[in-house]
Each structure stands twice: as C-alpha cells, then as structure tokens.
A and B are shown apart, each in its own frame.
Chain A
Amino acid sequence: MHIPDGYLSPSTCALAYAMVVPFWTVALRRVKELLQTRLVPLLALVSAFSFLVMMLNLPLPGGTTGHAVGIAVAPILLGPWAGMLAISIALFIQALFFGDGGITTFGANCLNMAIAGPLVAYGVYRLLSFKAPLTATRRVLAAGVAGYVAINVAALLAAIELGIQPLLFHDGSGAPLYAPYPLQIAVPAMMAGHLTIAGFAETLISGGVVAYIQKTDLGFLRLSAPGTLRIIDPSEPSAPVVHQRTSRALWAGIAVLLIASPLGLLAGGAAWGEWGIVDFQSEAGREQITQASGNVPPPAEVPQGMERLAGFWIGPIPDYAPAFMRQEAFGYFLSAMVGTGLILLAVLGLSSMLRRRQVRRLLRGP
C-alpha cells in the first residue's frame, strides 16, 4: 500500500500534501497540549513500534504484499491526533531511509494510512465500544473491526489515487504517464488482498493488542474512551479554548481548498464516468469518452437506463454553476462553499447533539 515515487502525478501528490498539512498542524498542537514533556519519547517509541509492525510483510494473492500498519492500534492507544503523528513519522522514516514508499508520494501515503485510516479506525472503535467498560470483550472486537475497516479504507483510497492516474495523465500516444491501471483494475487488485489477508492481519494485531492491554495496563485504553476516563466538567474553560485554537489551522486548510476549487475548471471535459446524455450525443463528447476510456468507444445510443433516470433528480446547482451565474469559476467556488458548508453543518449538528447527550448523562451520574 506504500505508493512509491513515480506512481502518482505531481499534481496528485501536491493535492495530497495540501490535504494532510492542516491535519498535521492541528495534531501537533493538540498533542503538545496533551502530552507536554512526554510527547517526544512516547511518539518516538510508538512510531518505532508502528515501523516494526509495518515490516511484517505478508504475501497476498496477485503477486502483491500486505502488512499490518498498526492503523487502529495507534489511535486507540494515543487518541486520533497523536496516532496520526506516530504513523506519519514511521512512514517518513520508511520513505526516506528505507525506500518503502516515495518522497513525492509521502503526502498521499500519509493521507491514506496516517490520516484517513486512523480517523476511521478511531470512529469505528468508539462507535462499537460505546458505553462498554474498559475490560469488555466488545472492546477487543471493536478494535479488530476498526483495524479491518480502516486498512480497507486506506487501501481503497490508495487504489483510487492510482486508478485515476491513467484517466488524467497520459502522453500524446495514449500511454499512461504514471500508474497504468484504471480504476476497474486498480480497485479490485488492491482490495482483493486487503479484504482478505491484510485486513485479517490488521484485525488480529488490533484486537490482540487491546486484549493484552486490558490484562496489563488499562490506562492505555483511556485516551480513546473519554467517557470512562474522568468526569468531564462542561464548565471547564480550557477545553473549548484549546479546541478552537488548534482547529484554526484545519479550517484554514479547508478554506484554501475551497478557494482552490476553481482549479477544477482547468481539467477539460467531464470526469471519467460522470458523463451526461449530452456527452453521449455530441461528437466532441464521444471523442472525449473514447480517449478517457483507453480508446474504447462509447455505445452508439445513449444507454437506456441513463436516459430514463437522467431527469429523476436535478441538483440545485447543476454542473457546479447555476444558470444565473455568468462566471463559471465563481459558480464552481460557490458550489464548493455551499457543499462544504452543508457537510460541516451536518457534522457540527451531529457532534453537538452527541456532546449534549454525553453531558446530560454525566450530570445525571451513574
């Protein structure tokens, strides 16, 4: 799953770096607040452990190899932010010193294995172990499932990053410039190994670690079980202040991505697989589809299902630029803002609801 240099285009690599930098910044600030002087030795040792776990390569069907990443262990033991940093550091040393994973693709590898994976693992673990005591077997199962889901999410992201390369980057003759396999090959090839052997290796390591920690030192499970850690005083002023300050960089990163959204206009034509009826009917559209599909021409007629369902749902901002806007770039930017705003509102609403429930429960007492 470690993508080497030369497999991803420079623009894909740059985008991946742009996406992970805000997470690293927030993680570093949060972890400094939490661990203070313990930060350096604890992160160094957990990173070293992650590194050694990643060295355990397993042969997978199809000639590739897979390994446990510790993708769930790090966030369960250290919390999601410190977990992100620990895995990122292990990946960096692997890339620079041991040649496992590239330097230009380091951002993409971190996005898959150090950001998305641990976040998913943490979410799944918290969800499945909700209200469970620290010694409950459910926590072992939750860790196992979290490891399995997280490594597969990371593998899917890697497959998508690799699979979009031939669609977007090829030379005049049609030869792919970077990873040569389209999504329909890259996704099954990557997922076959991870849904089976690598996924189970991660399950085994994640569940095994939590089961062991339950018997030896429960303290290490408390960072990912805040409800059982201590009674949270909702009137405590420092917690929200830290949250606001450390999250600022993340919001700044999202803002930069929003502002950069008109860059999408530089990509000519529609994204692969996102064609409309008009694209099938026009000569230029058909030519674009043929080129993007490895010189395989589209069917002569518009697919019947597409024709039937095309009018079923018209988005409020079709093609990212409503008709009343003259500037397409402005429409694109506005659409990105509206879309992201809706997602943020949904997430904030959900988290606020959960927090209120948690505070009510804590105030009610055991």
Chain B
Amino acid sequence: MELSAHAERRAARAGFLQGLDPRIKTLGLLLLVLTAVLVKSPVPLVGLFGFAILLASGSHIGIVGLARRVWLPVLLFTGMIAAPALFLVPGDTLATVPLLDWTITRQGARSAAFLIGRAETTASFASLLVLTTPWPHVLKALRSLRVPLVVIVILGMTHRYIFVLLGTAVSMLEAQRSRLMGPLSGREHRRLAAASAVVLLDKALHLSTEVHLAMIARGYRGEVHLLDDFRTRLSDWIVLAGFLAVAAAALGLQ
C-alpha cells in the first residue's frame, strides 16, 4: 500500500520512463521481464539488473528507496527459499560449514544465485513500470496487449475500491479495538476475524449495488468507452528498439 501511494507520486514526476508512451513502456518492460526469465547464465542476468538500475536513475527513482521497498523484501523472501538449495542441491563441493559439517555445492550456489537474481531483476522491471506510470495509464496500455475492454474497466474499478474497502477495514479494526477491555482468546480472535471478513464482504456487496445504481443513473447500459489519447513519437520507437537490443544482447551473451 505504501508502495502504491509512492508510485502515484513518482509517476507524476518528470523522468526518462515517465516521458515514454505508456504502451511502449509496458511492452518494453514486459519484454525485459521475459528476457530475465529466459536467460540461462548469471552474466546477462547481472547485466539486466544493472540496466534496471540505470533506468531507475534516469527516471529519478531513488536507488535507496528502491532497495528498501523492492530489493530487500524480495531478497528476504526469495533468500529464505533459496538458502536451503545451497545444501540440498547435489553436486561438487564448494565449501563446508564448520561445526555443522554441511556441504555447500557449486550447483546449489549457482541455483540459489539464479533464483535470487531472476526474482530481483524481474521485480525491478515490474516496479519501474508501476513507479513511473499512473495506474489508469497502465490499464490503457494493456489494451495494446489485446486485453478485453471490460476487463480493463473492472481492473480500474477494483483498484479504486481496494483502497475504499481498505479504509473501511481499517475503520472496522479501530472500532473493534476501541471496544475491547482485554486480550482475546484464540477462539474469540478467530470468531472476530471471520465476522470481520463477512461484514467487509457484506459492505462490499452493498457498495457494488450502490455503484451499479449510480452507473445506471449516469447512462451506463453495459457498453464501455475508454478515452485513449496516447500518441507514439519517434523517440518512443527508438527506446523500444533500445529495449529490444538489450534483450537480444542478454540472450546472445549466454
């Protein structure tokens, strides 16, 4: 949630990626995500990660902020999953942990490096997309990937109402806490959690009825029209060619 609020602010600033046509940017960054999954050698993976840092710098996205919000959580999550691979993947002995006598294998270390490298690189490109593009523009750009219009509209509305429902959920939790006289037992805690979930669902369903009536009142008859005022310039095509060249170089390097 913090990242999303941060993303809206960043997307409004001037910068290299912010200045691109959202369709070109979405296609280009998705291409780089795919390339990071396709490469089979650590060198191009490191190169792609470096390119992500370069793009972040050119788009005035702080490296420290990116590290705190993206790289560290990914490292902690994937690192926790990848660490046992050092010992569990069979292969040539690289080192032995003193006292425990656990063997780190070369294949295990390589495998863990692949997993962490891919996760960090792909997360960096995906974050660059949302940090430099307002959400409605991301959705409009998805039209160029042939996503049906009605899905785009549902996605946009879902994103909006996630924040509305989140506000409702936070208010509900505050109301519950303010009425508690002491700690709850496990059983009471579970009952409260289930009750909160269903009350939230009830509120969501009521809200959907109200939104539907409001849409009908404003002339909605099931047909969706999306304003699409994007213009692709020559510089956008040059950047897309650059992204393609980076992807081709990464795949050619292995």
Contact = CB atoms under 8 A, between A and B. Distances in A.
Q: Do A and B bind each other?
A: yes
Given A49-B204, A212-B195, A6 B165 contact: no
A212 B201 CA distance: 10
A89 interface: yes
A57 B29 CA distance: 29
Interface stretch (A34-42, A270-278, A329-337): A34-42
A64 B84 CA distance: 13
A99 B204 contact: no
Interface residues of A, number: 71
A104 B37 CA distance: 8
The residue among B33, B112, B121, B212 with the most chain A CB atoms within 10 A of its own CB is B212
A10 B34 contact: yes
A295 B80 CA distance: 25
Contacts of A166: 89, 111
A5 B116 CA distance: 10
B108 A180 contact: yes
Contacts of A38: 208, 212
A159 interface: no
A56 B196 CA distance: 12
Interface in A267-319: 294-296
B165 to A, nearest CB: 5
Interface stretch (A117-125, A149-157, A169-177, A226-234): A169-177
A102 to B, nearest CB: 6
Contacts of B161: 44-45, 48
Contacts of B153: 40
Given A6-B115, A37-B220, A180 B212 contact: no
B90 to A, nearest CB: 4
Given A93-B159, A204-B190, A6 B122 contact: yes
B150 interface: yes
A45 B3 contact: no
Contacts of B110: 171, 173, 175
B118 A181 contact: no
B155 A208 contact: no
B111 A175 contact: yes
A333 B202 CA distance: 49
Contact of A48 (B34, B36, B84, B162): B162
B133 to A, nearest CB: 10
B46 interface: no
A178 interface: yes
A226 B140 CA distance: 37
A61 B77 CA distance: 15
Contact of B115 (A28, A180, A216): A180
Contacts of A39: 150, 154, 222
Contacts of B41: 171
Contacts of A205: 194, 197
A46 B151 CA distance: 14
Interface of B is mostly: helix
A79 to B, nearest CB: 15
Contacts of B220: 37
Interface stretch (B15-23, B57-65, B123-131, B230-238): B123-131
Contacts of A16: none
Contacts of B34: 10, 104
B157 A40 contact: yes
B114 A52 contact: no
Nearest to A39: B150
Interface in B130-187: 130, 135, 138, 148, 150-151, 153-155, 157-162, 164-166, 169
Contacts of B74: 4, 99
A177 B38 contact: no
Given A40-B215, A49-B200, A180-B82, A104 B115 contact: no
A33 B158 CA distance: 21
Interface string A28-71: 10001000111111111111110111001000000110001000
Interface string B192-219: 0111011111101101110110011000
A220 interface: yes
A103 B3 contact: no
A166 B91 CA distance: 13
Contacts of A10: 34, 37-38
Contact of A51 (B80, B123, B158): B158
Interface in A193-238: 204-205, 207-209, 211-213, 216-217, 220
Interface of A: 4-7, 9-10, 13, 28, 32, 36-49, 51-53, 56, 63-64, 68, 73, 77, 85, 89-90, 92-93, 95-99, 102-104, 166, 171, 173-181, 185, 204-205, 207-209, 211-213, 216-217, 220, 294-296
Given A97-B130, A173-B91, A176-B89, 15 more contacts: A5-B126, A10-B38, A41-B208, A42-B205, A45-B161, A48-B204, A51-B162, A96-B129, A97-B4, A99-B3, A99-B123, A171-B41, A175-B106, A176-B107, A208-B198
Closest 6 CB pairs of A and B: A6-B118, A208-B194, A5-B122, A212-B198, A44-B157, A175-B110
15 contacts: A4-B122, A5-B126, A6-B119, A39-B150, A42-B212, A44-B208, A45-B165, A45-B208, A93-B162, A97-B135, A99-B3, A175-B91, A179-B115, A180-B82, A212-B195
